[in-house]
Amino acid sequence: MNYRICTYGDPILRTPSAPVASVDNGLRQLAQDMVETMHAANGVGLAAQQIGRTEAVCVVDLPAKMDTDESSGQRQNPGVPMPLVLVNPEITARSGREVRDEGCLSFPELFASIARATDVTVRFTDLKGKEQSLYAKGFLARAIQHELDHLNGVLIVDRMSAVTKIGMAGRLKRLKKQTKARLAAAAEAGA
């Protein structure tokens, strides 16, 4: 099932996620649907809030070419199976710092320079209900941090510099207005 992706201005994006009590078939189906929705939108990561849900679950699927170190040409996270599904994820360690352009499916066609850790360790539950710990670096670390921000109600606009926000103010205002109009129309149609 493909979900509609919630865009900037939708209140659900500011709603912190609720911990998942147990991994069951419903959660596995949600994760599969999230991966399909992410692929259909040409994304590499998606959090539950982005499809109007509040479970603490996110998915990441990096193509090999996006997981390659630019200088050495080597894969940075070759042992990490994709797509990666993180249930109740929590970053337990981070190191390094890098500023790179970043986009978001909830901010279509907007990219901004965002500072993130270059390496992270994340603890999570997998779809078998087992506790896992994963060390990630490079773009995978960036994607994990981005999706965990969503689970905490933090958006890419919150990570932008003041100068970038000023430069994008018009586009952000338009996107928010379009989202609010779509939500109002959906509410009216459902009434």
Q: Is the dihedral of CA 127, 131, 136, 141 positive or negative?
A: positive
Q: How far apart are CA 100 and CA 111, in angstroms?
A: 10
Hey, which residues are catalytic here? 147
Q: What is the three-class DSSP state of 44?
A: coil
Residue 125: strand pairing partners: 87, 131
Amino acid at 66: M
Pick the closest to residue 148 from 37, 77, 57 (CA basis). Answer: 57
Element containing residue 185 per DSSP (H, E): helix 162-190
Strand positions, DSSP E, the chain:
45-47, 57-60, 84-95, 98-104, 107-116, 119-125, 131-137
CB 137 within 8 A of CB 76: yes
